[in-house]
Structure 1
Amino acid sequence: MQRTLMMSMIALSMGGMSVAAQAQTQQQKEIEQLRQEVQALRGLIEQQKVQNAQTATAIANVQRTAAAPVANPVLKTAKGAEFNLYGNVRLDASYQVEGGAKDMPYNQINGVPLEGNKEQSDRLRSTLSATRLGLDFKSPVGEQDVKGKLEVDFLGGANLDNLRIRHAYLNYGNWLIGQTWSNFAIPDYMPETIDALAYVGGAVKRTPQVRYTTKFSPQTNLVVAAEDPKDSSINQRLPALTARLNHQFADNLNVSVRAMGHEKRINSEEEMAWGVGVGAKYDVVPGTTLKADYYHVKGDSSFVSFTNKGVAVTNLDDKGAITATSAIAAQSEFDSIMVGITQKFGDKVHGTLGYGYMSFDKDPNYIAATKDTTTINKDLWQAWANVFYSPRKPLSFGLEYVYGEREAFGEAANGSKTGEDNRINAVAIYNF
């Protein structure tokens, strides 16, 4: 019995030891599992740190890139003025079915021969005279910059083949001094043309002027100017005064109302010339733009293109120059309008359809004071269609067809009063 009791105690002891061993083994497994989980968590934390560092580096690179835009190529003079050089090389060509006698591929609708009077037919003309070179510059003066432009081309002289100044002016604050587009006869509302001289109803006038701009609001401003219109038909002693009110009615509609007044003087005789103009630009939908420009002018031919002389003068000499007995006989008066629509056909192609019309009042005194009444016009009109193609940014090619007529106040010897302008124009431009 004692032996049996002893064996039982030994068995119990060994069972307890076995249970304790199992418990210790289970505890070691749990510890090892916990260690592995901690190690995995530490690896995840380290990985997240690396990703955060990479993200921060990428963000910093993006921010640095955005904060440092690519600088435009700017040249500096010895005195610190900065300027940019720009321009183009331009080839114009025209096949003239019927048209004017001047040897140039540009508009001369107001002087085309009357039918049956030595019309210029089937002529090819070309030129690079519209090639342009310009400088935009600025220089700090006090708290503001003086900005300016100097631009030339080769459309000067009687035959339009000499170097001439297009723009040469300075801007300081609200003031402009120099030569640029007239404040009255601006090209902003003309439909696009290939012809460098534009068509009936348009104006490409640049004048020496002093101009001041006042802003009433971000949408409205008033521009007033004293201009020298370079009117060679009169003895000029005072500048022309012009005013232009611009207003943006919406993001897609801009309107300009303009006025002009100028003294016309022959010897001691004076008459006041005046004019008004209204222009509008309307983006119908993205890629489709309507433009229109209207003028009513009396007594002036120096601002709007292709007009009769503003004043008819009596007692001129044999060369048409003013003499001591010259006087103003009458003033010309006309209305003109130009309208057109431009359509984009993608990024590389766009085209324009346009129409221009000009009508002159029939003043008997004006007609009687003109020796050759076939040289003064009763009506002018032109219609055109063009397309431009830009395969790559510096290059542009254009093709245009234009047809127009003039009706003179006087008849030619054969009884004709109508002349015709019928041309195909082409242009190739490289901009730099």
Structure 2
Amino acid sequence: MSVKNLNMKALSLAVTLISMTFVTQSFAQQTDAVTAENKQDIQQLRQEVQELRQLLQSYSQSNTTITTQVTSPVASVAVVNSPTKAVEPPNGILSLAKAEVKVYGNIRLDASYQAEGGSASRLYNQINTVPLKGDKERSDEFKSTLSATRIGLDFKSPVLDQTVSGKLEMDFLGGAGLDNLRIRHAYLNYNQWLIGQTWSNFAVPDYMPETIDALGYVGGSVKRTPQVRYSYTIQPGSQLVVAAEDPKDSTVQARLPALTARWNQKIGDDLNMSLRTMAHEKRIESNEEWSWGVGLGAKYDFTPQTSLKADYYHVKGDSSFVSWANSGVVKQGSEIVALSEFDSITVGVAQKINDKTRATLGYGYMKFKEDQTYIVASPQANKELWQAWVNVFYSPVKSISFGLEYVYGEREVFTALEDGTKKGEDNRVSMLAQYNF
């Protein structure tokens, strides 16, 4: 029987009981005038009223029981749902099967006023190809782009008794500076292993002074490579990282991956250092040469507000790892005739002015060895490159940043043009507006 029918039955019984009560009262008032037979009838009526009361009480208890049975599943549902609320991930983290997925990225506007130097293709650093004075310069020009806008996903999920993590990050700086989507990072981590594409183990950006320019300035590198990497912590503060990398050197044929090694050392709370090395076979048909390089980077915190970064490279026979380098290999036909060799350094001081404002003063320099065989084969190769810059960043709130930067640099080639020109200038002001999510 439904709850509704029970309620209607109980109501009917209640009305009947009230009516009978009035009848008994009426009969009681007339007891002196009735006969013995009437008294017997009244007694029987009272018994019937008592039975009605008991029946009503029974119906009331039945209604209470059914109501409890109907509502209890609702409470059960609430109990089932409660664990979901307890493990709800933080803001910005999604749950996909057993994996946690964090979405992040930024919307970034870059603008630049090029007073001297530059080209039509892009506004980011191009110090190694800026036009020489009087040779097809594109000066006094404004440019802007949102190509450095990026989006990324961080993954994490349990596998047996371990955790597998990964990253997928993209921006729009593909295709020679056009607004084409490209992969920046795509890799997974398991225990001490990394497989995929991320920062090169040799050319790390950790020790480059901060810049607005998305590609950085001369002396540093923003190289990302497909690789297999293994990291081993020898003791707290000491770590060895080895990797086999594909440097994507389009000037040669690749038969073997590049081998890289890096030693990370933390000294106290204020000093971090990194010693790196690299070796890679350069091959053109049956001609083979080995390129190699070393790097040393350091970051020192003078105070919580002031820090120094410096990075140094010496490389022979390679142009794929360190940015802005001459071609590592010069060939004639299928023969390798010379290898490039250079030293580069970048250094900068960063100052935190307050909780919302910071600034950097930096300098970068690259010098190539004067190998006559190399110069004859590639007369317009660069002899020296340098850049100096100063910037300031302002973040009114955590997710929004504005930046302003001035950079001046020069390029000098080994062999002058017919008019005697050997130098070109990079003279520009850059601006940044960025929203992080």
TM bucket normalised to smaller = 0.7 to 0.9
The TM-score, its normalising length taken from structure 2, stands at 0.79
Change (3 A) 1:285 1:70: farther
Shift of 1:71: 3.1
Regions of 4+ moved over 6 Å: 67-70
CA shift for structure 1 position 412? 1.1
**2-structure distance, mates of 1:191, 1:380:** 17
Contact 1:116/1:414 (8 A) holds in 2: no
Q: Which moved more, 1:416-425 or 1:93-102?
A: 93-102
CA contact (8 A) 1:211 1:224 kept: yes
Task: Measure the CA separation in 2 of the matches of 1:164 and 1:70.
Answer: 30
What residue in structure 1 maps to residue 366 of structure 2? 358
State the shift of 1:74 in Å: 2.0
Structure 2 equivalent of residue 174 of structure 1: 192
Name the SS of the counterpart of 2:374 in structure 1: helix
Q: Does 1:156 align with 2:174?
A: yes
- CA RMSD in angstroms comes to 1.4
CA distance in 2, matches of 1:343, 1:306: 27
Query: Which residue matches 1:63?
Result: none
Determine the C-alpha separation between the residues in 2 that align with 1:365 and 1:161: 39
Q: Does 1:198 align with 2:216?
A: yes
AA aligned opposite 1:400: E
- The one-letter code sitting in structure 1 at the alignment partner of 2:337 is A
Q: Work out whether 1:232 is the aligned partner of 2:240.
A: no
- Measured against aligned partners, the alpha-carbon deviations of 1:139-162 in whole angstroms (never above 9, x if no partner) come to 111101110000000000123421
2:357 maps to what in 1?
349
Measure the CA separation in 2 of the matches of 1:425 and 1:70: 39
Of 93, 105, 108, 2:123 maps to: 105
Partner residue, 1:256? 274
Change (3 A) 1:401 1:102: same
Instruction: Provide the secondary structure at the position in 1 that maps to 2:214.
Output: coil
What secondary structure sits across from 2:151 in the alignment?
strand
Cα shift readout 1:51-83 (whole Å, capped 9, x = no counterpart) = xxxxxxxxxxxxxxxx99983442122x32110
Equivalent runs, 1:204-215 vs 2, <5 Å:
204-215=222-233
State the alpha-carbon separation in 2 of the partners of residues 159 and 251 from structure 1.
Answer: 40
Match of 1:424 in 2: 429
Q: How many residues align?
A: 352
Moved more, 407-416 or 188-197: 407-416
Q: Identify the range of structure 1 (165-174 vs 104-113) with the bigger mean alpha-carbon deviation.
A: 104-113
Given candidates 239, 244, 261, the residue that maps to 1:243 is 261
Alignment partners' CA distance in 1, 2:120 and 2:255: 32
Contact 1:85 1:134 (C-alpha < 8 Å) held by counterparts? yes
Instruction: Tell me which residue corresponds to 2:309.
Output: 291
In the superposition, the TM-score normalised over structure 1's length comes to 0.80
Instruction: State the partner residue of 2:64.
Output: none
Rounded to whole Å, the distance in 2 between the matches of 1:267 and 1:249 is 47
Distance 1:214 1:70 in 2: 31
Question: Are 1:386 and 2:404 counterparts?
Answer: no
Q: Percent identity?
A: 67
List gaps (5 residues or longer) in structure 1: 1-66, 316-325
Q: Distance in 2 between matches of 1:73 and 1:180?
A: 23
Distance 2:89 2:258 in 1: 44
Q: What SS does structure 1 have at the residue aligned with 2:396?
A: coil
The residue type paired with residue 399 of structure 1 is L
